[in-house]
Structure 1
Amino acid sequence: MAGERILLVDDAAEVRQFLADSVLRAEGYDVLTAANGVEGYTLARDLRPDLIIADYLMPKWTGLEMLAALRQDSIDLPFILITAEGSEEMAVQALRLGVNDYMIKPFNPDDLLSAMQRVLREHWTRQITRQIPAQLMETNLQLEQRLHELDTLVQIGKRVTSLLDLQEVLNQIVQAAVRLAKVERGNLLLVDEQSGELYLYASSEKLNETSDSFRLPVADSLAGQVVKTGDPLVISGDALHKIKTHYLVRDVMYIPLLLRGQVIGVLEVSNQDISRAFEPHALQLLRVLADFSAIAIGNARLYATVQHERDTLDAILRDTEDVIVVTDTQDNILFCNPSAQRTFDIERDDFIGQPLTEVIRHAEVQDLFQKDPSTRRSLSSEIRLDEDGRYLNAQLSQVELVGKVAVMQDITHLKELDRIKGDFVTAVSHDLRSPLTAILGYVELLSRVGPLNDNQREFVGRIHASVESIASLITDLLELGKIEAGFDKDRELAHMDTIVRDAVEGQRHQWEAKHHHIDVTVPGTLPPVLGYPPRLKQLTNNLVENAIKYTPENGDIRVSIEQNGDFLVLRVEDTGIGIPKKDQPYIFDKFYRTDQAIDHFSGTGLGLSIVKSIVEQHAGRIWVDSRSGVGSTFSVMLPACLDDPCQGEPQPQGHAAR
């Protein structure tokens, strides 16, 4: 190919000029010329052209004598011999000296160019062939070194993910850093979260008491500079003479340990005795090891956190008096805390993984776990322990990808307090009714003993209203006590469409007196509800009565009921005073009334509490949507009876307010 340097040796000036200018340079070759063999030898020895073209007969040295001198000097260059007359003897001599080709004058320039290309191609092929073994050997050595480095990194990576002993992992990483970087020693320093200083955690050399107390300030050190910048630092040879280090080194490399973008330490490798230049890829290898170190530290910290949280949770579950039972999605036992084992007399040790029905024989517990809590946040139930008469309040929740969790608290003392409260309310109510009756009787007699003036009649009216308010309060307390005690055990099919119409019609006098417009929407066909009709009517009456009471004159009230899947939804909407946001979480509590209601409306604060208790006794839910000054919407969901005949009774579901 064009561009090679050609040495043309010929004693005929016209031949040299023709071949050099018209043939070789025209093809792009770089041409040197010589007039005799000695001159040609000198140029070939000093300039080493890519090809020599020489005439045979020349003054001083012939072309073959010049070639012989070059071969004696171990200069092996491609050689084409030109001769005016060829002979077998000359051909043999030329071959022995290593002539690549020879041409007999006169010759065609194209033949010369073809011969040159062939000779040069063969020469470069031989050169490459000679160099291949050495290059392959060097390449193999480099590949072996890279494979060794890669294997080291793989092994370190496996240890990082498999070993929980942080000290052991980091010691191995430092040893690997020393081997891969081909240095004398290595250290791994971590940032103290309290003081901010660097302290020695792992080293390629054995640590001692002095090492344990070693501290390196971040503000005034090379390693500290790496902590502050987050960039690696490589210093070698003379550059270290101008820098003060914490100990004498000749070459040093610092690599930051990055964990979630924060530098938590530094990996250091150094030479102290003999200075050696770091290999070009050493920095890349140590970066990988630094990343492994950061991962190992992150894993260790995460493991320590998880272990601490697990120990804390184990202590809570072990020492709590609450009964805790966990099952998987197939209702096999995953966990029973000691309190659960004592409560349900679980004596076997192999209960983990066993079906709940085989481990806990209590029927009410088994029934609880048969329910599906996925439709709501949790299910509530009361469980009575026949052995000792205790009561447990059980909350069943579903945990995604785990199963079900039941937490049960002993409420025996609360049940006893509730019984005492009920007895007290009953006794007090009974004892209050007699004097209230007497008060009302005497108030009625006042007008018979003589005429009353205006002030007296006003006072008598206030007494009468107060007595009726107390009597209403007593009645509500007794009703609430009966509902919460569960006295209404009788269940039958109740038709809510009839109950809704009767409730609205029964209060016609009240809403007509305030000129309210009432819209009742009841579909023609609705499934019944399995419940106690008097309580369901009381529920509806209380909601409609509330809407009438708290809606100003000429207001709008809408009562509707509809089927939504497996439930009937009763809604009572009004355009009344509304309920402030801050009061809405408490309106179903006993005796709770808003400030506006207390100032302008009479009442006991038990109406909505009674409604909520009735809803819960019928396994329903109740919630309110309200805006102050705009109005309120009370919504009640009750399970519809879709079976024919309807089987089973609804169970209380705990807190139902949304």
Structure 2
Amino acid sequence: LEVIRALQEQNIQVPTILMTAFGSEELVVRAFRMGVRDYVIKPFEPGEMAQAVERALAEVRLRAERDRLVAQLEEANRRLQQQVQELNVLYSIGRSVTSRLDLETVLTRVVEAAVFLTRAGEGWLLLLDPESDDLVLRAAKNVDKKRAQGMRVRIQDTLAGQVLQSGEPLLISEGQTKVVTGYLVHSLIYAPLRTPERGTFGLLGVAHREKPRSFTTHEVRLLCALADYAAVALENARLYEETETARRKLEAVLRETDEAVIILDPQLRILLCNPAASAALRISTDVVGLPAAQVISNRTLLDLFFNAARRRQSLYAEVSLPGGRTYNAHLTPVEGVGYVLMMQDITHLKELDRVKSEFLAAVSHDLRTPLTTIRGYVDLLERVGPLNDQQREFVEKVRRSIAHIAALIGDLLELGRIEADYDLEMEPLHLEAIIDAVVDSFRPLVEEKKLTLYWEPKPLPLIRGNPRRLRQVMENLLSNAVKYNREGGWIAVSADQQDGYIIVRVADSGIGISSEDLPHIFERFYRGQSQKVEEIEGTGLGLAIVKSVIEKHGGRIWVESQPGKGSVFTFLLHMENSPPALRPLTPREA
């Protein structure tokens, strides 16, 4: 036991086997407490001793393996704790980037995290100054304030410039390296700040200046991750500033514009209501976030909103508001936003149109009497005496002019009656029956001009309309298709149903309409400027009457045409159970 005690005092770790002639249990216990691995009692056989030695050596090997595994486990735990710590830091930085913290705070945290994770002596973040092409210090940790103030790094012939141009990180771990004049470090990492849109526009750097210590590739990866966070933070700040600038400009425009504008999200909650809309609808401007149905009471507008949400297409309606004002309302879906409602005050236009209609109606009515008198005297000329050929030719020209003026007056009076809602009683009807009757009445005229007329009637849902006026629409459209067509050409008439509307098309192979004439084709008295059009008789009121009738039925008409390739006139009317105030935008309006 004295030998064992002496070994312990000298801290000598060797496996020990006790050989004793005494089998005292107390002695054996004391020996094991002092580190004895095994014991044998004299006398013993050599094999018995060999077994004891083998057992002792096996125990030593097991202990050594255990110690090795414990050391590995401790190292793994240390690395795991380090990784958890690194991830926590990166997570914290990530949250800072996406939070509402100001940019300077985020960049300072990034630099502090870089110094902490790489165990560096100091760190800094440099951004490219586009005016000077120098890198300017934006945030720093453990950098002398005097040196940090106004710190700039040139790009030309510097390590920082090399990283900026290559876009790759840089690791230097041997010797002294110059960051800027008078600023030497023993080891250095530069990680680029870059985005796909801007490329490389800055650097995140860490260094050891006082104590020489090499950085590892793992620390380079950590710094690159932090540099990416910094780049995202800077890009977010730039985009936010651009968005805010655009928002302020948009708000200024919407605030000053005379047009009423309301922006809705996909759930029809109000995102913006400009002062013009607030005044027109007599609602508060402080309605952001509220459902439109809770704020707006106008039934036509609410129907417009709900139908747009259901159909996901642009819609149009004429809206009458309190105070006798009338607005043209366009509601358009906007991807990523919701819907934009724009309302234009057309009250003065409606009033001008009314005054003009009344004036034309009055003039037309007053012209009828003298025109009838003139026609009577022209008819009497041949009765009071014979006329020579030249006189007869002059009389015929006067008669044709009188007929033209009479037709013009008739059309004017007809247009006035339509716009004044005279003789416009509505009833349920089948539009295909009206079209079929008009097509049959035009067949002799079509055959006379050697045209081919295509029309295949099919059952359609009921609409509410005025049979006489709708017949007038089809007669005017077919009359134009015949008049402005070439001999041997064709006319195609079709009627279909779609999304609650009856859609009627009248297509022809005629002379077509120029792009200059298209915007004016439905205006009163407007006739095309081409010589071919001028050679064909007409009052210039037929399409104006068509447009007025269709709009009185809550529908819409438009034309698509190219010179020399014919025209397609399309009008749509809502079915009997479809809201009359709503319709899709025409191609020209869209």
Structure 1 CA distance for aligned equivalents of residues 119 and 110 of structure 2: 14
For 1:252, the equivalent position in structure 2 comes to: 188
Please tell me whether the aligned partners of residues 593 and 605 of structure 1 are also in contact (alpha carbons under 8 angstroms): no
Give the TM-score, by structure 1 length. Answer: 0.71
Equivalent in 237, 243, 258 of residue 306 of structure 1: 243
The one-letter amino acid paired with 2:211 is: I
Post-superposition CA distance 1:327-366 (Å, at most 9, x none): 677766665443344444446x986666666645556656
For 2:491, the equivalent position in structure 1 comes to: 557
For 2:329, the equivalent position in structure 1 comes to: 394
1:161 corresponds to 2:95: no
Q: 1:514 to 1:327 in 2, by over 3 A?
A: same
Deviation at 1:326, TM superposition (A): 5.5
Post-superposition CA distance 1:601-650 (Å, at most 9, x none): 333444334323322222334445656545444343322336xxxxx983
Q: 1:351 to 1:305 in 2, by over 3 A?
A: closer
Structure 1 CA distance for aligned equivalents of residues 356 and 131 of structure 2: 57
For the residue of structure 1 that corresponds to 2:580, the secondary structure is coil
Deviation at 1:293, TM superposition (A): 0.5
Deviation at 1:305, TM superposition (A): 2.2
Residues 254-273 of structure 1 correspond to what in structure 2 (within 5 A)?
254-260=190-196, 262-273=199-210
Structure 1 CA distance for aligned equivalents of residues 370 and 192 of structure 2: 88
Bigger RCO of structures 1 and 2 (CA < 8 A, at least 6 apart):
2
Structure 2 CA distance for aligned equivalents of residues 189 and 270 of structure 1: 14
Please tell me whether the aligned partners of residues 384 and 390 of structure 1 are also in contact (alpha carbons under 8 angstroms): yes
Structure 2 CA distance for aligned equivalents of residues 157 and 358 of structure 1: 40
For the residue of structure 2 that corresponds to 1:391, the secondary structure is strand
Post-superposition CA distance 1:104-148 (Å, at most 9, x none): 9999xxx99x99997875553333344455555554444443333
The one-letter amino acid paired with 1:251 is: S
1:603 corresponds to 2:538: yes
Structure 1 CA distance for aligned equivalents of residues 45 and 477 of structure 2: 128
Structure 1 CA distance for aligned equivalents of residues 412 and 182 of structure 2: 83
Equivalent in 292, 299, 315 of residue 378 of structure 1: 315
Please tell me whether the aligned partners of residues 578 and 627 of structure 1 are also in contact (alpha carbons under 8 angstroms): yes
For the residue of structure 2 that corresponds to 1:237, the secondary structure is coil
Residues 424-463 of structure 1 correspond to what in structure 2 (within 5 A)?
424-430=359-365, 448=385, 450-453=387-390, 461-462=396-397
Post-superposition CA distance 1:438-479 (Å, at most 9, x none): 6656665666563034xx666655555455445444444444
Residues 475-624 of structure 1 correspond to what in structure 2 (within 5 A)?
475-487=410-422, 489-523=424-458, 525-563=459-497, 566-579=500-513, 587-590=521-524, 591=526, 593=528, 595=530, 597-598=532-533, 600-624=535-559
1:650 corresponds to 2:590: no
Please tell me whether the aligned partners of residues 378 and 398 of structure 1 are also in contact (alpha carbons under 8 angstroms): no
The one-letter amino acid paired with 1:260 is: P
Q: 1:431 to 1:201 in 2, by over 3 A?
A: farther
Q: 1:115 to 1:573 in 2, by over 3 A?
A: farther
For structure 1, the 5+ residue unaligned runs are 1-69, 81-85, 90-94, 643-647
Please tell me whether the aligned partners of residues 558 and 571 of structure 2 are also in contact (alpha carbons under 8 angstroms): yes
Equivalent in 115, 121, 133 of residue 196 of structure 1: 133
Please tell me whether the aligned partners of residues 188 and 266 of structure 1 are also in contact (alpha carbons under 8 angstroms): yes
Equivalent in 150, 159, 168 of residue 222 of structure 1: 159
Post-superposition CA distance 1:498-542 (Å, at most 9, x none): 42233234434532321334344223x544321122210111001
For 2:64, the equivalent position in structure 1 comes to: 127
For the residue of structure 1 that corresponds to 2:177, the secondary structure is helix
For 2:26, the equivalent position in structure 1 comes to: none
Post-superposition CA distance 1:247-296 (Å, at most 9, x none): 32222211101212611210011233332222442111111111111111
Please tell me whether the aligned partners of residues 123 and 143 of structure 2 are also in contact (alpha carbons under 8 angstroms): no
For 2:222, the equivalent position in structure 1 comes to: 285
For 1:48, the equivalent position in structure 2 comes to: none
Q: 1:117 to 1:610 in 2, by over 3 A?
A: farther
Structure 2 CA distance for aligned equivalents of residues 529 and 626 of structure 1: 28
The one-letter amino acid paired with 2:476 is: N
1:421 corresponds to 2:356: yes
The one-letter amino acid paired with 2:242 is: T
Structure 2 CA distance for aligned equivalents of residues 609 and 207 of structure 1: 82
Deviation at 1:174, TM superposition (A): 0.8
The one-letter amino acid paired with 1:293 is: A
The one-letter amino acid paired with 2:126 is: L
The 10-residue stretch of structure 1 (183-192 or 603-612) with the greater mean CA deviation from structure 2: 603-612
Structure 2 CA distance for aligned equivalents of residues 369 and 396 of structure 1: 7
Post-superposition CA distance 1:386-442 (Å, at most 9, x none): 4xx333333345567877654333323222322332234334445655665566566
Structure 2 CA distance for aligned equivalents of residues 144 and 517 of structure 1: 88
Please tell me whether the aligned partners of residues 522 and 562 of structure 1 are also in contact (alpha carbons under 8 angstroms): no
Give the TM-score, by structure 2 length. Answer: 0.78
The one-letter amino acid paired with 1:254 is: Y
Q: 1:296 to 1:334 in 2, by over 3 A?
A: closer
Deviation at 1:493, TM superposition (A): 2.6
Q: 1:192 to 1:145 in 2, by over 3 A?
A: same
RMSD between aligned residues: 4.7
For 1:320, the equivalent position in structure 2 comes to: 257
For 1:294, the equivalent position in structure 2 comes to: 231
For the residue of structure 2 that corresponds to 1:286, the secondary structure is helix
Q: 1:560 to 1:138 in 2, by over 3 A?
A: closer
Deviation at 1:225, TM superposition (A): 1.0
Equivalent in 110, 114, 117 of residue 173 of structure 1: 110
Larger Rg: 1
For 1:41, the equivalent position in structure 2 comes to: none
Q: 1:393 to 1:160 in 2, by over 3 A?
A: same
Please tell me whether the aligned partners of residues 314 and 585 of structure 2 are also in contact (alpha carbons under 8 angstroms): no
For the residue of structure 2 that corresponds to 1:224, the secondary structure is helix
Post-superposition CA distance 1:28-74 (Å, at most 9, x none): xxxxxxxxxxxxxxxxxxxxxxxxxxxxxxxxxxxxxxxxxx99999
The count of residues paired between Structure 1 and Structure 2 equals 569
Q: 1:469 to 1:236 in 2, by over 3 A?
A: farther
Structure 2 CA distance for aligned equivalents of residues 542 and 480 of structure 1: 13
Please tell me whether the aligned partners of residues 164 and 300 of structure 1 are also in contact (alpha carbons under 8 angstroms): no
The 10-residue stretch of structure 1 (459-468 or 186-195) with the greater mean CA deviation from structure 2: 459-468
Identity within the alignment, % = 40
Q: 1:365 to 1:439 in 2, by over 3 A?
A: same
For the residue of structure 2 that corresponds to 1:264, the secondary structure is strand
For 2:25, the equivalent position in structure 1 comes to: none
Residues 203-242 of structure 1 correspond to what in structure 2 (within 5 A)?
203-205=140-142, 211=148, 213-238=150-175, 240=177
The 10-residue stretch of structure 1 (245-254 or 533-542) with the greater mean CA deviation from structure 2: 245-254
Please tell me whether the aligned partners of residues 316 and 328 of structure 2 are also in contact (alpha carbons under 8 angstroms): no
Please tell me whether the aligned partners of residues 617 and 650 of structure 1 are also in contact (alpha carbons under 8 angstroms): no
Post-superposition CA distance 1:172-202 (Å, at most 9, x none): 1111212222222211111224443321111
Structure 2 CA distance for aligned equivalents of residues 505 and 99 of structure 1: 122
Please tell me whether the aligned partners of residues 381 and 654 of structure 1 are also in contact (alpha carbons under 8 angstroms): no
For the residue of structure 2 that corresponds to 1:619, the secondary structure is coil
1:275 corresponds to 2:205: no
Structure 2 CA distance for aligned equivalents of residues 88 and 652 of structure 1: 116
The 10-residue stretch of structure 1 (349-358 or 157-166) with the greater mean CA deviation from structure 2: 349-358
Residues 25-36 of structure 1 correspond to what in structure 2 (within 5 A)?
none
